[in-house]
Structure 1
Amino acid sequence: MRRAISSTERRARLGVRHRLAPGAAAADPPEVARSLVAVHSTDPSSVYLGTLARMAGGDLGTVERALYDDRTLIRLLAMRRTVFVTALDVAPVVQAACSRAVAERERRKLIGMLAEAGVGGADPEGWLEDAEAAGEKALAARGEATAAELASDDPLLGTQIVLSKGKKYEGRQNVASRVLLLLAAQGRAVRGRPRGSWTSHQYRWSPLELWCPDGLADWETGAAEVELARRWLRAYGPATADDLRWWTGWTKTRTAKALAALDTAEVVLDGGADGLVLADDLEPVPEPEPWAALLPALDSTPMGWQAREWFLGEHGPKLFDRMGNVGPTVWWNGRIVGGWAQDRDGAIVCRFLEDAGSEAAAAVEAAAERRAELLGGVRLNPRTRGMTWLEEELKG
């Protein structure tokens, strides 16, 4: 008989395994990243705020040192062609299981763009190979560079291509930017320090060897997919195969193959849905002490499943933008009960979307005060996504 795992127990697992419940805090940023498999990094500020929400101490400098000085964290273009931050020991698995396929698709796309623009004559693929080699050489010589700097180092990299040809937002771009994206997806280059502050969306690039002197371990794709599925189930299970397929961006066939190679157990979720856990993960998880959290936009926890009703309820339309990206959320005991934003003066404003009780209100207020102290007056700008309904309302 299959074990039933209720939404209450799923929320208990979330609180403990995602380092949000009392006593579950991580010791350092890499431990946070491992606990989540990878930290969503489309919005750079979410890496800092999401990581520190899961640690007992630390400040912005703690995360910055892990990213750029100690280099125990690394950015990858990975699942769903999205930028993630993960620990160095997990990076080879993510790269082989997801980034490799992203690189192949992006390379085919770029070859098509070059052919359409007449770049490379009869051999745009060969031309691109030369441009990739030039980009890697120029980056190694500089040690750290922007795409614009590399475009000035070699005429191949300075070649311009037309983007969105024929549309009103048509533009031109140096091929260096596309080449760097390919090198990163191939595990040959890394997004390094941002050009501005910790909230900046513009990065300098570095050779991979500055993070991994021996390069990333060479995993076979199928084995890496199995390992990534195992890590994801440990962090996000119980869940469905569709949840994993959505999170990774894999096809149904790839997802089913990876899961079939694992020792899993079927469970029944609330509502009668079929779920999966690792076979050694069937023991009940006790409910932790009450906890509150203010998680940033695009945080890895709310973006970890496709089916979110068990922790989101009916609040999705107010907390997600039209592209399916989550805004800043307020959590109480494993459920999203509201959202938060900064008003015109930069103050943090929280809004409950349901009555969570006086204990929740006090805990959320305390979390908001800690968040305000952490930000120190910095204004967050959601440039990588649309504003949610609740953010628009709270910002005034």
Structure 2
Amino acid sequence: MLKFPDERRRRRLAQRHGLARPYPSVTAAAEAMTALHATEAATVHLALWARVADLTVDDVERALYDERSIVKQLAMRRTLFAFPRDLLPAVWGSAAARVAQQQRTLVAKDLGANGLADDPDAWLVAAADAVLDVLGDGKPRTTAQLREEVPQLATKVLRGAAGSKWAGEVPLAPRVMTVLGAEARVLRAENAGHWRFNKPTWTATGDWLGDPAPAPLEAAEGYAALVRRWLWTFGPGTEADIVWWLGATKTIVRRALADVAAVAVALDDGGTGWVLPDDAEDAEDREGAEVAPWAALLPTLDPTVMGWKERSFYLDAAHTPYLFDSNGNAGNTAWWNGRVVGCWLQDDAGEVRVVLREDVGAEASAALDAEAARLTAWLDGVRITNVYASPQMRNALLP
């Protein structure tokens, strides 16, 4: 079995993720990354800032809302991503469909448990039809606006054990829209707030992409397409990496690996990684290209730090409790030559500063400080609020 050392994995990460050499456009960077995390709205913009030369906020907004070359879609692990448009049929038929079924089942269960519908499935069909009927005029609406026009969306259900501090009524409107979004019947259109916040408007899929909208791929074909793209972006990666990233089963992943004729390689930790056929050797290796020392500041839930489950080749396990929350969500991270070495945060004045977890030397410290100054200038006073801030970010703990 061909050996694929960690040093080569880090070099490949630097090149393919646009961190050592930036991409020329938003679309090129999004396609290279397979999917950009979008749970925190600012992640899309900041992830692209780290990878695209001379990026402006308007460049990102234009790609999302005018050109629609990248589209937000709920998919793997019930997480919101911004996908390159060409990947949507694969996502819809596989990861998104899996999430849609899970969420539809949960909503139906709550409807029944609360005595709100004798036939929860029929209730959901009627609610969906009513939403699509309202959106039929082509005018995007927020969830709050839809709730005013669709009576079913005003429904609330009781969640949590009676008498517990977690018990309370919660609205069904966001959950119904989650189901319709995962089913690709509606899409997130323009953002109704500042770019750093998620306040989506909703529109019919055909209105956003053009009628007729592309059809979802069959599930196995969709998973194979996603795994093929993942392997180019993140490979070599292990079976566990792909199962985690896809939010799928080993059976699904093993079939997809077979469908794309993936090739096994030996990793430094003794595990088995997978790459695409003819991709075990970097094109950059064959060309003899060198990667100059590089520094990067990546945002909360950035696709690079969240691309693998098994992260030892770029992350010291001792850093994990400081840089990830208890659910495994990564906060802002600071990188030097393919390794996570700390985090970054903003002070009250909006200035970006780096907090290191290890001694990286004068060259690395200077390069990271230069990135912090560049990001401070780019944000120009905008303060980013992170829902998934890491312990290091929250407490500014020193090494």
- TM-score interval, smaller chain: over 0.9
Distance 1:271 1:157, change over 3 A: closer
Cross-structure match for 1:244: 242
SS in 2 for 1:191: strand
Q: How many residues align?
A: 390
Which of 87, 91, 94 in structure 2 is aligned with 1:90?
87
CA displacement at 1:326 relative to structure 2: 0.6
Which of 311, 334, 349 in structure 2 is aligned with 1:308?
311
Structure 1 residues 41-75: Cα deviation after superposition (integer angstroms, max 9, x where no partner) = 11110100001110011211110111112211111
Amino acid at match of 1:304: G
Structure-1 separation of matches of 2:180 and 2:391 = 37
Structure-2 separation of matches of 1:309 and 1:264 = 22
TM-score if structure 2 supplies the norm length?
0.94
Cross-structure match for 2:338: 334
TM-score if structure 1 supplies the norm length?
0.94
Structure 1 unmatched runs, 5+: none
* 1:15 and 2:46 are equivalent in the alignment: no
Structure 1 residues 110-165: Cα deviation after superposition (integer angstroms, max 9, x where no partner) = 111111111222x1211211111101111223621112211221322322222335
Structure-2 separation of matches of 1:375 and 1:164 = 40
Tell me if structure 1 keeps the 8 A contact 2:111–2:157. Answer: yes
SS in 1 for 2:345: strand
Cross-structure match for 2:270: 272
- State the percentage of identical aligned residues: 37
* 1:201 and 2:198 are equivalent in the alignment: yes
RMSD: 1.7
Counterparts of 1:128-139 in structure 2 under 5 Å? 128-139=124-135
SS in 2 for 1:16: helix
Cross-structure match for 1:143: 139
Structure 1 residues 372-396: Cα deviation after superposition (integer angstroms, max 9, x where no partner) = 011111111112x2x3221123399
Counterparts of 1:342-381 in structure 2 under 5 Å? 342-381=346-385
Amino acid at match of 2:65: Y
Counterparts of 1:1-396 in structure 2 under 5 Å? 2-22=1-21, 25-121=22-118, 123-141=119-137, 143-164=139-160, 166=162, 167-213=164-210, 214-284=212-282, 285=285, 286-313=289-316, 314-383=318-387, 385=388, 387-394=389-396
Structure-2 separation of matches of 1:336 and 1:376 = 26
CA displacement at 1:316 relative to structure 2: 1.4
Tell me if structure 2 keeps the 8 A contact 1:341–1:395. Answer: no
Structure-1 separation of matches of 2:144 and 2:369 = 44
Distance 1:359 1:209, change over 3 A: same
Distance 1:152 1:310, change over 3 A: same
Structure 2 unmatched runs, 5+: none
Tell me if structure 2 keeps the 8 A contact 1:74–1:211. Answer: no
SS in 1 for 2:39: coil
Tell me if structure 2 keeps the 8 A contact 1:53–1:295. Answer: yes
Q: Which moved more, 1:204-213 or 1:128-137?
A: 204-213
Structure 1 residues 173-201: Cα deviation after superposition (integer angstroms, max 9, x where no partner) = 44332221111101111122333211112
Tell me if structure 2 keeps the 8 A contact 1:158–1:175. Answer: yes
Structure-2 separation of matches of 1:41 and 1:250 = 20
Structure 1 residues 313-352: Cα deviation after superposition (integer angstroms, max 9, x where no partner) = 2321211111111111111111111111112332211022
Q: Which moved more, 1:311-320 or 1:170-179?
A: 170-179
SS in 1 for 2:152: coil
Amino acid at match of 1:13: R
Distance 1:170 1:192, change over 3 A: farther
CA displacement at 1:240 relative to structure 2: 0.4
Tell me if structure 2 keeps the 8 A contact 1:187–1:216. Answer: no
Tell me if structure 2 keeps the 8 A contact 1:330–1:337. Answer: yes
Amino acid at match of 1:388: S
CA displacement at 1:356 relative to structure 2: 2.0
Structure-2 separation of matches of 1:62 and 1:211 = 19
Moved over 6 A (4+): none
Q: Which moved more, 1:208-217 or 1:318-327?
A: 208-217
Tell me if structure 2 keeps the 8 A contact 1:131–1:157. Answer: yes
SS in 2 for 1:290: coil
Structure-2 separation of matches of 1:336 and 1:269 = 19
Q: Which moved more, 1:209-218 or 1:48-57?
A: 209-218
